[in-house]
Amino acid sequence: MSSSQLPVVRFLFVLLVLGGLLSGCGDKTPAASTGPSSQPLPAAVFDLQGDPEASQGATWTYKGTLQGVVFDLQGVLLKTTGSGPFPAVVISHGAGGNALGYSRAIAIEMRRWGLVCIATNYTHAGGVPLGAPGTLSEPGASQANVLRAHAAREILRTLGYVDMTRVAAHGHSMGAFVTTALVAVYPDDFRVASHTAGGVIAASVGAATPSETQARAIRAPYQLHHGDADLVVPIAQDQRLDAILQANAVPHELQVYPGAAHNDVAQSQTVLARVRSWYMTHGLF
């Protein structure tokens, strides 16, 4: 039965499906239960509302406890027509935005390229419930937001029409910070990455911006876009990331836009055309 025939589709995902969700987050991640094999597996419920092939896509919620971490997520899903398997992208919004705003606008464009597009709300979202994990004091590249973004990727795995060897990550501003941290923590999970108005700082203990140390784990080909008149996120932060990628021989580009302010690059058609070309060059489609 198609999503248009059944507006609310419920999938039950057990730990066997999403067992890798927390694997990249180091010592801060709670350990998995080691109870007897007869112990019931924890589960999370993913509810899809609407048709992902509709003009505005579908919304979804994801709730449950996995490996001691409580998830309470909301997001959007858009897909191109057909049965796939399709390439996909995880899209991350900036401070004060949400999945229904920036992320869906970018998804509508990227779906035209043939991508399945998924996005969730982060701790720095505006106009939506906070959700979980994380608090308002954990914006940007926090562990909580990396877990949220990776949960979105793992949802793609369950849909049956996504080629999980061809998944990209893209974000703007604090969503760019999430993107950088995400592909650093999970370097084998993304074919390619891109962002607008992001970058790194020298040290990032508890900060919203990822650190240079984190960025050294990136392996995915990465395209960076930044306006040189950005007064919100200094272009020096993307220049630092550019230098790290260069030193580690990671395929990358830093595209600089003279006179462009912070939000000028967020939905620029020039930027998006370059992102599409970058994805094509590196085998996403």
Concatenated DSSP letters of 40-85: PPPEEEEEEES-TTSTT-EEEEEEEEETTEEEEEEEEEE--SSS--
Q: What sign for the dihedral angle of Cα 177, 179, 180, 184?
A: positive
Residue 68: the pLDDT is 82
Residue 133: the pLDDT is 97
Residue 261: the pLDDT is 98
Residue 43: the pLDDT is 59
Q: pLDDT of the chain along its 285 residues, tens only?
A: 444 333 334 444 433 345 445 444 433 333 333 333 334 434 578 999 999 999 999 999 999 987 788 999 999 999 999 999 999 999 999 999 999 999 999 999 999 999 999 999 999 999 999 999 999 999 999 999 999 999 999 999 999 999 999 999 999 999 999 999 999 999 999 999 999 999 999 875 557 999 999 999 999 999 999 999 999 999 999 999 999 999 999 999 999 999 999 999 999 999 999 999 999 999 999
Question: How many whole angstroms separate alpha carbon 189 and alpha carbon 89?
Answer: 11
Residue 32: the pLDDT is 35
Quick check: helix, strand or coil at residue 245? helix
Omega cis (within 30) before 258: no
Residue 86: the pLDDT is 98
The two structure tokens encoding residue 27: 């010592």
Residue 204: the pLDDT is 58
Residue 131: the pLDDT is 97
The two structure tokens encoding residue 132: 């979980």
Residue 36: the pLDDT is 33
Structural element, H or E, at residue 9: strand 8-14
Q: How many other CB atoms are found less than 10 A from the CB of residue 34?
A: 6
Looking at domain 42-281, its CATH architecture is: 3-Layer(aba) Sandwich (3.40)
Q: What sign for the dihedral angle of Cα 183, 218, 275, 189?
A: negative
DSSP string of 83-149, one letter each residue? S--EEEEEEE--TT--IIIIIHHHHHHHHTTT-EEEEE--TT-SSS---BS--TT--TT-HHHHHHH
Question: How many whole angstroms separate alpha carbon 64 and alpha carbon 13?
Answer: 9
